[in-house]
Amino acid sequence: MIDRDQVVHVARLARLELGEDEVGALAEELSSILDHVDRLLAVDTDGVEPTTHVVPLENVLRDDVPGEELTPEQALAPAPSVEDGAFLVPSPKTEG
Amino acid sequence: MAGEPLGMLSACATGEAIGSGELDGAECLAFWAERAGDETLNAYLWTGPDDGGQRIAGAPVAVKDIFCTEGLPTTAGSRILDGYAPPFDATAVTRLRAAGLPVLGKTNMDEFAMGSSNENSAYGPVLNPWDRTRVPGGSSGGSAAAVAAGAAPWALGTDTGGSIRQPAALCGIVGLKPTYGAVSRFGMIAFASSLDQCGTFGHSVADAAELLSVVEGLDPRDSTSTGIPGGLSRPTASDLEGITVGVPRNFLEVGVEQGVADRFAEALKTVERLGGTIRDIELPHAELGISAYYVIAPAEASTNLSRYDGVRYGLRVPADDLVEMYERTRGEGFGPEVKRRIMLGTYALSSGYYDQYYGTAQKVRTLIVRDFEAAFSEVDLIATPTTPGVAFELGAKTSDPWSMYLNDLFTVPMSLAGIPAISIPAGLAAPPEGGPQLPVGLQLAAPAFAEQALIESAHALEAAIGFDERPEGGGDS
């Protein structure tokens, strides 16, 4: 039901590098899982509202007052690469 | 209490003994630190302890490695967070420290809490203290095994679809998942945000409830947190007079091992002996829970896990180009089950499939919520076995994801409805293929925020069942 091309497409959407063997395995596994999940499609859900959240809360607000939070140094400390108080990343330019 | 070995003292009693001066807090911590350091089940990823330099007012807590701990390793069982030491504490951990409960160690878990066997940890599986060839359950397997083996007095875990209740059942201890929102999710590494909930493990209902009372509460840092209105007090019930317990017989028809069914039937007799009433109920959509869950949870996970991109923390695999760096970092950093769920979730949310899968799953979730509402108009509690079977052998289900997912058949519906549920030991049973006697869990579920009623009944049942078995050798062997 899910072929290798779809796996490669979805992996690109998810920014996930997969090996050739992983692509094949995932095509099989995802198809098998979706076979089970497809039972949902047989349920009569006409007129049923979706549940996105189980606790009936809305608009939990607070005053916009600055509190004691992390310093820039603390926030940057776990980063793999930093420069001049910012996260350093490779160029976003892509070829082709 | 006096003269009882420290390892056999309940966590509640330990706190009382420290409070009265009968027991020295530092000595208690040293005792448990040695136990934690000596365990050989791979239950801990890091042992400290870390008392934060504060007063010690009670038994130290084993904390699932999904909770951020300031300056201490926090991996969520993933290679992508190898070496990460967060600059802040999760609110649950802040609350432990404020109550004078030191962090004993960080416990092993399925990667990003995705799993039911702990075999998805990047740091190797946890072994079940009852039989080291078997899984402890998951995803909070390290927390459950540590408590069961006597390598921690009590523990924090998280439960998204059964990740506290299932390992508690497989390890023969109590696991308590409160109502969604009871405990802040701030600093609790996100898996599926509409389902994730912090909960507790202990040897008794009273211990699990006491630890929950420490960590629950409204938190300005988590706008979905509510706390438990009225809080929690120590359970005292000794009978079930006036309590009606619903049993969804149709839901329980398929695939329950005989030994589990036998212990469950005995537990229901115990309910009646304590003055409770058993009533058959219907949860017509509960059996669809796993299918709905495996759309909703992966969809939420695929978005939550997009933050692991090699930029702000954790692993980075170098590349010349930004997108290639993302792809290689994530390809190398995530394990097979996490990749599977990211792929499943991304697919379910992708253009053309969103309504078909995610939309439908959320509507089925509504039907499951309504099933519980209807049932709780007739009964006070709902009882099921926690799991369809006892602990299975390592490797037994790794090649078939769906058979692994079915471990959570009876625990997932409560997560989808956001209601509280507890697993307590119901006795021992042998697996169907023969083998050692292994723990069986009884699950009790209650309406949202009815934690006090839940723990009262669980406490009365626990005393009547009288389960006092501990695994031989435990963490000492």
Contact of B230 with B425, CB cutoff 8 Å: no
In a domain, B311, yes or no: no
- Beta partners for B41? none
B472 band by pLDDT with thresholds 50, 70 and 90: confident
With 0-12 CB in 10 A as exposed, 13-18 as middle and 19+ as buried, what is B22?
exposed
Range(s) of the domain holding residue B403: 6-250+256-282+370-465
Return the DSSP state at B359: I
* B123 or A56: which leads in pLDDT: B123
Given an 8 Å threshold on Cβ–Cβ distance, is B417 in contact with A89?
A: no
B477 band by pLDDT with thresholds 50, 70 and 90: very low
The 10s digit of each residue's pLDDT in B137-149 is: 999 999 999 999 9
Contact of B211 with B143, CB cutoff 8 Å: no
Q: How far apart are CA B41 and CA B54, in angstroms?
A: 30
Contact of B439 with B425, CB cutoff 8 Å: yes
Residue-level pLDDT at B53: 78
Average pLDDT along chain A: 92
A93 touches chain B (CB under 8 A): yes
ipTM: 0.94
**Stretch 7-36 of chain A: residues touching chain B, C-beta under 8 Å:** 7, 10-11, 13-19, 22, 26, 29-30, 32-34, 36
Given an 8 Å threshold on Cβ–Cβ distance, is A16 in contact with B330?
A: yes
The total of other beta-carbon atoms located within 10 Å of residue B82's CB is: 13
Contact of B41 with B127, CB cutoff 8 Å: yes
Under 8 Å CB-to-CB from B279, ≥6 apart: which residues? Answer: B244, B245, B246, B247, B378, B379
Has B163 been annotated as catalytic? yes
Residue-level pLDDT at B60: 97
Question: H helices then E strands: how many in chain B?
Answer: 15, 11
Instruction: Name chain A contacts of B310, Cβ cutoff 8 Å.
Output: 80
With 0-12 CB in 10 A as exposed, 13-18 as middle and 19+ as buried, what is A64?
exposed
Q: How far apart are CA B115 and CA B138, in angstroms?
A: 6
Residue-level pLDDT at A93: 74
The total of other beta-carbon atoms located within 10 Å of residue B477's CB is: 13
Residue-level pLDDT at B54: 82
By Cβ distance, the residue of B179, B347, B418 closest to A10 is B347
Instruction: Name chain B contacts of A33, Cβ cutoff 8 Å.
Output: 294, 340, 344, 401-402
Residue-level pLDDT at B3: 54
Residue-level pLDDT at B1: 44
The 10s digit of each residue's pLDDT in B211-250 is: 999 999 999 999 999 999 999 999 999 999 999 999 999 9
Provide the H-helix boundaries in B193-281. Answer: 205-215, 258-273
C-alpha A60: how far from its chain's center? 25
C-alpha A82: how far from its chain's center? 24
Contact of B57 with B92, CB cutoff 8 Å: no
Q: What stretch of H or E contains A10?
A: helix A4-13
Is residue B377 predicted with pLDDT exceeding 70? Answer: yes
Contact of B269 with B438, CB cutoff 8 Å: no
**Stretch 45-84 of chain A: residues touching chain B, C-beta under 8 Å:** 45, 48-55, 57, 60, 62, 70, 74-75, 77-81
In the numeric block, which tokens belong to residue A16?
Answer: 């996930």
Question: H helices then E strands: how many in chain A?
Answer: 3, 2
Q: How far apart are CA B118 and CA B393, in angstroms?
A: 12
Instruction: Name chain A contacts of B331, Cβ cutoff 8 Å.
Output: 16-19
Is residue B382 predicted with pLDDT exceeding 70? Answer: yes
Contact of B452 with B230, CB cutoff 8 Å: yes
- Beta partners for B439? B428
Q: How far apart are CA A10 and CA A20, in angstroms?
A: 14
Contact of A54 with B374, CB cutoff 8 Å: no
The 10s digit of each residue's pLDDT in B405-422 is: 999 999 999 999 999 999
- Beta partners for B63? B106, B156
Q: How far apart are CA B298 and CA B193, in angstroms?
A: 11
Task: Give the CB-side neighbour count of residue B130, counting CA atoms within 13 A.
Answer: 30
In a domain, B354, yes or no: no
Return the DSSP state at B136: -
The total of other beta-carbon atoms located within 10 Å of residue B94's CB is: 19
Residue-level pLDDT at B4: 66
Given an 8 Å threshold on Cβ–Cβ distance, is A50 in contact with B340?
A: no
Q: What's the Rg (C-alpha) of chain A? A: 22
Average pLDDT along chain B: 96
CATH number assigned to the domain comprising residue B35: 3.90.1300.10
Instruction: Name chain B contacts of A91, Cβ cutoff 8 Å.
Output: 320-322
Residue-level pLDDT at B136: 98
Q: What stretch of H or E contains B437?
A: none
Q: What is the mean pLDDT of residues A45-72?
A: 88
Instruction: Name chain B contacts of A2, Cβ cutoff 8 Å.
Output: 347
**Residue of A3, A16, A22, A64 to mutate for B, most B C-beta atoms under 10 A:** A16
B473 band by pLDDT with thresholds 50, 70 and 90: low
Q: What stretch of H or E contains B159?
A: strand B154-159
Q: How far apart are CA B177 and CA B160, in angstroms?
A: 9
B221 touches chain A (CB under 8 A): no
Among the listed ranges A68-72, B18-22, B429-433, B457-461, which one has the minimum average pLDDT value? A68-72
In the numeric block, which tokens belong to residue B174?
Answer: 């109590």
Burial A41-63 (b: 16+ CB within 10 A, else e): eebebeebeebeebeeeeeeeee
Say which of B10, B64, B78, B106 is annotated catalytic. B64
In the numeric block, which tokens belong to residue B290?
Answer: 């796993």
Given an 8 Å threshold on Cβ–Cβ distance, is A50 in contact with B359?
A: yes
A92 band by pLDDT with thresholds 50, 70 and 90: confident
Is residue B7 predicted with pLDDT exceeding 70? Answer: yes
Say which of B117, B121, B139, B204 is annotated catalytic. B139
Given an 8 Å threshold on Cβ–Cβ distance, is B226 in contact with A51?
A: no
In a domain, B26, yes or no: yes
**Residue of A13, A33, A94 to mutate for B, most B C-beta atoms under 10 A:** A33
A5–chain B nearest CA distance, Å:
13
Burial B235-272 (b: 16+ CB within 10 A, else e): bebebbeebebbbbeebbeeebbebbeebbeebbebbe
- Nearest-Cα residue of chain B relative to residue A93: B321
Place of tokens 């009262």: B456
The total number of structural domains that make up chain B: 1
Q: How far apart are CA B9 and CA B93, in angstroms?
A: 23
Return the DSSP state at B59: -
In a domain, B289, yes or no: no
Size of interface A-B (CB pairs under 8 A): 173
B346 touches chain A (CB under 8 A): yes
Provide the H-helix boundaries in B39-140. Answer: 91-98
Residue-level pLDDT at B474: 54
B84–chain A nearest CA distance, Å:
6
What DSSP line would sit under B374-413, residue for residue? HHHTT-SEEEEESSSSSPPBTTSSTT-HHHHHGGGTTTHH
A16–chain B nearest CA distance, Å:
5
Query: pTM (2 decimals)?
Result: 0.97
Place of tokens 């998805």: B120
The 10s digit of each residue's pLDDT in B168-181 is: 999 999 999 999 99
By Cβ distance, the residue of A7, A40, A62 closest to B220 is A62
B325 touches chain A (CB under 8 A): yes
Say which of B78, B163, B225, B457 is annotated catalytic. B163
**Residue of B74, B291, B341 to mutate for A, most A C-beta atoms under 10 A:** B291
**Residue of A3, A40, A49 to mutate for B, most B C-beta atoms under 10 A:** A40
Instruction: Name chain A contacts of B224, Cβ cutoff 8 Å.
Output: 53, 55, 57, 60
B476 band by pLDDT with thresholds 50, 70 and 90: very low
Instruction: Name chain B contacts of A13, Cβ cutoff 8 Å.
Output: 346, 350
Instruction: Name chain A contacts of B88, Cβ cutoff 8 Å.
Output: 70
The angle formed by the CA atoms of residues B220, B453 and B214, to the nearest 5 degrees, is 35
Domain limits, chain A: 4-32
**Stretch 224-283 of chain B: residues touching chain A, C-beta under 8 Å:** 224, 226
Is residue B96 predicted with pLDDT exceeding 80? Answer: yes
Residue-level pLDDT at B43: 98
The angle formed by the CA atoms of residues B446, B401 and B254, to the nearest 5 degrees, is 50
A42 touches chain B (CB under 8 A): no
Is residue B475 predicted with pLDDT exceeding 70? Answer: no
